Structure 1
Amino acid sequence: MTRYNRRSFLKISGIGLAGTYLAACSVGGGDETAAQTALRAAFSQPINDLDPHGPSSVDEASLLAGRLIYDTLIRRNGEELEPAVAQSWEQPDDNTWVFTLRGDVKFHDGTPLTAADVKASLERVKAANTAQSALWATVSSVEASDDTTLTITTERPLGTMLVNLSLMFILPAATMNTEGFFAKPVGSGPFKVESFTPADELALTSVEHWSGKPKLKEVSLPYLPETSSQITALRTGDLDILWPVPPDQLRELEGVEGITLETVPSYVYYFNWFNCGKAPFDDPRVRRAMWQAVDVAGIVKNLFGDGAEVMTSPIPSTAFGHAEQQPYAHDPEAAKRALTEAGLGDGFRTSLMWFSDTGPLADGLAQAMISDWAKIGVTVEAQNVEKAEWLRRLNEKEFDMDLQTNTVTTGDADFTLGRLYDSAADRMGYRNPALDDILRQAHEDSDQARRGDLYAQACKIIWEDAVGIFPAALISTYGLRSTVRNFQPAPSNQPDLRGVTVG
């Protein structure tokens, strides 16, 4: 039997890179007693939904909000996973986890958080059939034997149990399914919702929390759709924090009095998925030709500069499980020959969908790739759509190609490779039984060395099969007013605001 408690945090080497790159920064100076109590911080993407188990469960903006509003059993602190609502846990056997919960956690409405709430939340996200549900596919039962004891049983060993639980937000069982709940949801996190207008603004106030009350009294997260408006708001002091600052806008903030820029290699990267379930992208020769046609290195250098690096794997180098692959050479003539061999010597017509706020310079990246594809006779219709429509079409696989950013939120390859490329997930029509077996083994194993070897195999298969094009891993730049103190830039783009002060 394996036991863990607050003195013996389980250090997961799979997310250790977070600590390597997560540089603490204390911005500004002065007397903290004179600090202001309100913070205005703008993320580049709109917060459309506060349901942490719903269609936006792995959306960066929704996860950002979720970290502030809700609690999890386990949370990440730098390079470690540590107790949160769960103060200790043990494994009687490989398929059973028993968690002992804190007895002092309350929801924002004053009701106690119990094991029954965790049970209901885990069962809800497992049944939701959303992007996060796949993490819990092997859970066979969840039992709350009393208010502070939770037992999770799995069909097979689940080596990523603790990492997964750092994403599993706890909601009140009695009210989480009532109509209108997520217009002003009740959580147990360090901030409660005062008001929420989707794709406009989320207003929060701090509460007494088991981890200590945040130093800020109020946090406002407005969405400013225009980059120029974001930059102006930071320069004038209407915003205290802005992230990520697009690479082409850094010059607007560099050297500006009262503004500090902090960077961190991130878990965020671009991919261009092919819908592998329909012609012509059901043919890997066509997918590889499309990749060869794109001058990835040139586009990344010219478009992003120091704001990104060329990908060498289906996940960024900051994530556990990354294994460097042989880059696809930019070779339009080879791409044309490959299309001819696939019976498409005269080219073809297809489409690319994306939404502008998916990440910095998304429009420019899309247009650059479309331009390169035109040079090999492939005409690509640009479909720049609203985020809500993009999400619907993605979930329904109503696309030919999909350009977006993605975040390895846990810092572990299982979150991306295991969740997205398994045949059962069917995210982009790609099916490979050999890859499924590798991902299953890595998902179940708790030995990090073996998991690393398995993910190296998975990276090679996904790369060589050209399931997508993986152009750029992003460097996140945070713009901060000099009055902001005790802020840590996060590689996940989901910063912890509990210790931040302004003044």
Structure 2
Amino acid sequence: MVTTYNRRGFLKISGIGLASAYLAACSVGGGSSTGADQALRAAFAQPINDLDPHGPSSVDEATLLAGRLIYDTLIRPVGEKLEPGIATAWEQPDPNTWVFTLREDVKFHDGSPLTARDVKASLERVKDADTAQSALWTSVTSVEATGEHTLTIRTEKPLGTMPVNLTLMFVLPADKMNDEGFFRKPIGSGPFKVESFTPSDQLVLGAFEHWNGKPKTASVTLPYIPETSSQITALRTGELSALWPVPPDQLRELDGAEGITLETVPSYVYYLNWFNCGRKPFDDPRVRRAMWKAVNVEEIVRNLFGKGAEVMTAPIPSTVFGHADQRPYPHDPEGAQRDLAEAGLGDGFSTSLMWFGETGPLADGLAQAMISDWAKIGVTVEPQNVEKAEWLRRLNAKEFDMELQTNTVTTGDADFTLGRLYDSGADRMGYRNPELDAILRQAHEDSDRERRAGLYRQACEIIWSDAVGIFPAALISTYGLRSSVAGFEPAPSNQPDLRGVTLEA
């Protein structure tokens, strides 16, 4: 049986939400209202340090923000839907084969045509890159340019997540993408072309005559402003046109400020506190559940984040496809102590918590609040606030007792987080569960949305009840906008589409 997808039909079977910026007009409040001479500036909480969409930073929010503007993908995330990108249609002649028909009018920024050969080279590059994105493509056995504008992808097993995975697979020019220095000023086919780039400092983009419409603004500048206070001041004084995400502890500074509006959207970003389930005493689920019961999650989230976060009800945010509400763990210190006694730890124990301060807003406060609650049940936790590079090394080597971090469900689909991180083969935190493995793999292979939702409901229940980690807070993204900004659409991915943004006089 051949399954064929076109624009209308595809919207019925898939849905995802859209996944550091400083948008300020060169002349805020008094410039031209036409896009031809408008220059936007934009500031995001994280620096853009790499424009390689297949490299080590391929799932970093800042790299993805830039990638959405510079490059194209076969399929595009638009709101909660998937839409054709440079692929106009696709079909499945059998469960392990996908055939894509590409647009014939797509050009790279240097004027060269984009063909199936470029898509093939890009997919093979990301598959072999050994990065977080590479894990999405392990089942791919071959990629063939079967025509100038036809691409065939074959997989070892059915890959039901093929369409949503392709929203992350950015296409680069095959003949140039491996040239030395290419990513200092890369060439894509997206709505903006790179004018200049200084890693962790500033990215300047110019509008490009894109197949899907030229942007309404002539240029976008994305500088990195490391100090939150400087970001807030710049927005208040009009040096910035927009700022996102506004940290929860800064909302009062902007709420009600003249000429500024705040827009919020639940995001794909959330906090998790993983236990090293392969290391005593956290190999015992009774201990893990006791640690969760000891933490007054609701009070901590309310007092620390206010309107900037919501208490999680599953191991993924409610914005993500595959989310299923779970029964909250009660704040029960006495019950936690009973659980520890049953596990042979009635006198408590000592352990450690690792995190890096820049992982997300108020990370230090969240860590200290949990450590304080654990102390009340006799568990002494050594705080280990380390540099990001050391945190990453220890995380990958599983050299931790507990670790706190933010995580982003980049595609808006549960497979990206649950399927990628909790399968025993991934071995990210020492947790192994063959039943969960079977559920996640079935959901990964199935293309039926309703069946996948049911499988992820089971997966959420297992991860939650086994207390693989504590899942305290899902962040709310708040965008601070000057009143001169028009056409700006907040996105849960923190990757807004800037093509339609203008500044009104």
Q: 1:325 to 1:4 in 2, by over 3 A?
A: same
- Preserved CA contact (<8 Å) 2:207 2:215: yes
Q: How far is 1:8 from its partner? A: 4.0
Q: What is the DSSP-based 3-state SS (H/G/I as helix, E as strand, rest coil) of the residue aligned with 2:12?
A: coil
Give the equivalent residue in structure 2 for 1:248.
249
Alignment partners' CA distance in 2, 1:467 and 1:197: 40
Q: How far is 1:272 from its partner? A: 1.1
Counterparts of residues 327-366 of structure 1 (less than 5 Å) = 327-366=328-367
Give the equivalent residue in structure 2 for 1:298.
299
- Preserved CA contact (<8 Å) 2:18 2:411: no
Alignment partners' CA distance in 1, 2:390 and 2:115: 37
Give the equivalent residue in structure 1 for 2:489.
488
**Farther-moved stretch of structure 1 (108-117 vs 229-238):** 108-117
Alignment partners' CA distance in 1, 2:180 and 2:74: 26
Alignment partners' CA distance in 1, 2:36 and 2:237: 19
- Preserved CA contact (<8 Å) 2:15 2:82: no
Q: What is the DSSP-based 3-state SS (H/G/I as helix, E as strand, rest coil) of the residue aligned with 2:274?
A: strand
Give the equivalent residue in structure 2 for 1:402.
403
Amino acid at match of 1:293: A
- Preserved CA contact (<8 Å) 2:18 2:495: no
Give the equivalent residue in structure 2 for 1:390.
391
Give the equivalent residue in structure 2 for 1:166.
167
Q: What is the DSSP-based 3-state SS (H/G/I as helix, E as strand, rest coil) of the residue aligned with 2:168?
A: coil
Q: Which runs of 5+ in 1 are unaligned?
A: 20-27
Amino acid at match of 2:78: N
Asked if 1:49 corresponds to 2:50, the answer is yes
State the TM-score, normalized to the length of structure 1: 0.93
- Preserved CA contact (<8 Å) 1:140 1:155: yes
Counterparts of residues 257-336 of structure 1 (less than 5 Å) = 257-336=258-337
Q: How far is 1:14 from its partner? A: 4.1
- Preserved CA contact (<8 Å) 2:192 2:205: yes
Q: 1:184 to 1:347 in 2, by over 3 A?
A: farther
- Preserved CA contact (<8 Å) 1:6 1:83: yes
Q: What is the DSSP-based 3-state SS (H/G/I as helix, E as strand, rest coil) of the residue aligned with 1:163?
A: helix
Amino acid at match of 1:96: T
Q: Which runs of 5+ in 2 are unaligned?
A: 20-28
Q: What is the DSSP-based 3-state SS (H/G/I as helix, E as strand, rest coil) of the residue aligned with 1:211?
A: coil
Q: How far is 1:179 from its partner? A: 3.1
Q: How far is 1:343 from its partner? A: 3.5
Q: 1:12 to 1:476 in 2, by over 3 A?
A: farther
Q: How far is 1:178 from its partner? A: 3.1
Q: 1:196 to 1:389 in 2, by over 3 A?
A: farther
Counterparts of residues 408-419 of structure 1 (less than 5 Å) = 408-419=409-420
Q: 1:33 to 1:199 in 2, by over 3 A?
A: closer
- Preserved CA contact (<8 Å) 1:35 1:501: no
- Preserved CA contact (<8 Å) 2:35 2:502: no
Q: 1:275 to 1:223 in 2, by over 3 A?
A: farther
Give the equivalent residue in structure 2 for 1:141.
142
Q: How far is 1:486 from its partner? A: 0.3
Counterparts of residues 146-161 of structure 1 (less than 5 Å) = 146-161=147-162
Q: How far is 1:235 from its partner? A: 0.7
Give the equivalent residue in structure 2 for 1:215.
216
Give the equivalent residue in structure 2 for 1:239.
240
Alignment partners' CA distance in 1, 2:360 and 2:410: 15
Q: What is the DSSP-based 3-state SS (H/G/I as helix, E as strand, rest coil) of the residue aligned with 2:101?
A: strand
Give the equivalent residue in structure 1 for 2:471.
470
- Preserved CA contact (<8 Å) 1:108 1:186: yes
Give the equivalent residue in structure 2 for 1:447.
448
Q: How far is 1:259 from its partner? A: 0.8
Q: How far is 1:13 from its partner? A: 4.8
Alignment partners' CA distance in 1, 2:30 and 2:444: 45
Asked if 1:109 corresponds to 2:110, the answer is yes
Cα shift readout 1:109-148 (whole Å, capped 9, x = no counterpart): 3332221221122122222222222221221111112221
Q: What is the DSSP-based 3-state SS (H/G/I as helix, E as strand, rest coil) of the residue aligned with 1:430?
A: coil
Asked if 1:367 corresponds to 2:368, the answer is yes
Alignment partners' CA distance in 1, 2:345 and 2:353: 18
Alignment partners' CA distance in 2, 1:390 and 1:183: 27
Q: 1:357 to 1:205 in 2, by over 3 A?
A: farther
Give the equivalent residue in structure 1 for 2:204.
203
Alignment partners' CA distance in 1, 2:458 and 2:290: 22
- Preserved CA contact (<8 Å) 1:35 1:502: no
Amino acid at match of 1:434: E
Q: How far is 1:155 from its partner? A: 1.6
- Preserved CA contact (<8 Å) 1:40 1:221: yes
Q: What is the DSSP-based 3-state SS (H/G/I as helix, E as strand, rest coil) of the residue aligned with 1:11?
A: helix
Q: How far is 1:34 from its partner? A: 7.6
**Farther-moved stretch of structure 1 (227-236 vs 202-211):** 202-211
Q: 1:279 to 1:176 in 2, by over 3 A?
A: farther
Q: How far is 1:262 from its partner? A: 0.7
Give the equivalent residue in structure 1 for 2:121.
120
**Farther-moved stretch of structure 1 (427-436 vs 125-134):** 125-134
Cα shift readout 1:296-316 (whole Å, capped 9, x = no counterpart): 011011111122111110111
Amino acid at match of 1:122: L
Amino acid at match of 2:396: N
Q: How far is 1:418 from its partner? A: 1.0
Give the equivalent residue in structure 2 for 1:479.
480
Q: 1:300 to 1:48 in 2, by over 3 A?
A: same
- Preserved CA contact (<8 Å) 1:271 1:403: yes
Q: What is the DSSP-based 3-state SS (H/G/I as helix, E as strand, rest coil) of the residue aligned with 1:90?
A: strand
Amino acid at match of 1:401: M
Give the equivalent residue in structure 2 for 1:65.
66
Give the equivalent residue in structure 2 for 1:500.
501
Q: What is the DSSP-based 3-state SS (H/G/I as helix, E as strand, rest coil) of the residue aligned with 2:496?
A: coil
- Preserved CA contact (<8 Å) 2:248 2:306: yes
Q: How far is 1:168 from its partner? A: 0.9
- Preserved CA contact (<8 Å) 1:14 1:319: no
Q: How far is 1:166 from its partner? A: 0.6
Q: What is the DSSP-based 3-state SS (H/G/I as helix, E as strand, rest coil) of the residue aligned with 2:404?
A: strand
Cα shift readout 1:276-333 (whole Å, capped 9, x = no counterpart): 2323322222222221111101101111112211111011112121111111111222
Give the equivalent residue in structure 2 for 1:22.
none
Q: 1:105 to 1:386 in 2, by over 3 A?
A: farther
Give the equivalent residue in structure 2 for 1:129.
130
**Farther-moved stretch of structure 1 (401-410 vs 295-304):** 401-410
Q: 1:496 to 1:283 in 2, by over 3 A?
A: same
Give the equivalent residue in structure 2 for 1:23.
none
Alignment partners' CA distance in 1, 2:240 and 2:358: 19
Q: How far is 1:174 from its partner? A: 2.2
- Preserved CA contact (<8 Å) 1:29 1:485: no
Q: How far is 1:12 from its partner? A: 3.7
Give the equivalent residue in structure 1 for 2:86.
85
Amino acid at match of 1:178: D
Alignment partners' CA distance in 2, 1:168 and 1:357: 27
Give the equivalent residue in structure 2 for 1:431.
432
Counterparts of residues 89-100 of structure 1 (less than 5 Å) = 89-100=90-101
